[in-house]
């Protein structure tokens, strides 16, 4: 189900590919206590997206 029409979510692999394309230093994704962590090659957290936090300004 790669379609985003009618609220269908994108598959996880598609999101991973998009993130890796924009943030080449990110090597893996991990969920920890509901937060999404984007990790670099040595396992350090590059970006942490908190559950329930909005994105924008």
The full set of domain ranges for the chain reads 25-57
Secondary structure (3-state) at 34: coil
Cα distances (angstroms) measured from residue 12 to each of 19, 56, 57: 11, 22, 26
CA atoms within 13 A on the CB side of 44: 3
Rounded to two decimals, what is the model's pTM? Answer: 0.52
Specify the pLDDT at position 55. 56
Residue range 1-57, pLDDT digits in tens: 444 455 556 677 777 777 777 777 888 888 888 888 888 888 888 888 887 765 554
What residues pair up with 47 in beta bridges, in sequence order? 38
């Amino acid at each position: 189900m790669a379609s985003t029409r009618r609220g269908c979510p994108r598959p996880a692999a598609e999101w991973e590919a998009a993130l890796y394309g924009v943030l080449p230093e990110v090597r893996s994704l991990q969920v920890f206590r509901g937060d999404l962590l984007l990790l670099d090659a040595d396992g350090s957290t590059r970006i942490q997206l908190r559950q329930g936090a909005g994105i924008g300004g």
